[in-house]
Structure 1
Amino acid sequence: MAEMDDLRKRPASMPPAPPRCGHYSQALAAAEVGPAAELVRILDGIDLHWTGYDAYAADTIGSLFPRRHAYTSLIAATDPDWGRDFDIGFLLIAPGTLYRDHHHLASELYAPLTGPTYWRFGTTAPWTEKMPGDIVWNPPQRVHATLVRDTPLLCLYAWTENVHATAKVDFSPDWREIEAALAQEDGVAL
């Protein structure tokens, strides 16, 4: 298999960095009352290096998502070579954000620690509410999107196989309507 760009790869010596999207303290507070309260207390005491997934073209992923999300890999910093076909970490998405429909080769498991959040599995599929402790499983190539309203999404993620493959955005005709409504609620300019 050809070598693919690893956007997660960074030297283990990189210093801790806060999530560029903010809302981390708010997410931790929201998760403290859920099923992962003990995990959240531990997470709150660890200095992590948060970054963003910047492989999407701005004209496909939208103008807000790049600055309204962050993730931290627990594998890449320890041993990027070991993590070729496995990654586990945390994803944070700010309130009022649509993570547009997309797909990728990696199998993906999400365990939301906050909620409610809304997920759909296909560009015209209905939205499904997910609460803390619910599991979201995306097999390879499954189109999916995430909608975060009032409470930031903090979730544990695990990717298996094809971890380095780039995700692709899948157009949905309702993006503009959803993002306009979120911007109006949040007072954000699109």
Structure 2
Amino acid sequence: MTASTWRDQYMSGFRTLGRSQSFRALLGTFVLQALATGTMLAGAQYVATWVLRSEDAVTFVFVALVGPALLATPGWTMLPDVISHDERTSGPGQAGTFTGIWTAGETVGFALGATAVSLTLAATGYISTVAGTTVEQPEAAITGIVLSFSILPAVLMGASLLTLRRYRLRRADIDAVADSDA
């Protein structure tokens, strides 16, 4: 493909994204949820080590975080078919751009989740260690670990529900975008 063809494809996708308020609302929701999940996953080892006092507990913490999603996902994917016959998908022309943006949003959310945990630990006086060294963490650092694993993700999930309220995609919206691209 020529450079202008690539540019045209990207620009078409971004114009579609600009017109798709529903996708933007869903993307914002997803990024906030990825950020919340990222903070919990980044904090799992700290919780196991410093709160539960067992580095082996990280397996249990990880399973407790990921397990419910593995069990619930099949039900969530079937739910739209059960409650509605409206199609809630993008047209095939936008799928690649939307998928790329979706993946970028997930990556940003997870990366910022780890950053949020690091900043919280730094702000609360966490003492970094190297293998084989033993330290006692200050009480403020333990509190920071607990907050970054509980309150922070809860607030982010709550914020994601606010962005989800703006999601209103229906078949007519998809047809309007398809007609404007024609």
Could you tell me the TM-score, scaled by structure 2's length?
A: 0.20
Relative to its length, the structure with more helix (as a share) is 2
The one of the two structures with greater contact order (alpha-carbon pairs below 8 A, sep at least 6) is: 2
- Give 1 or 2: higher strand fraction: 1
* TM-score when normalising by structure 1: 0.20
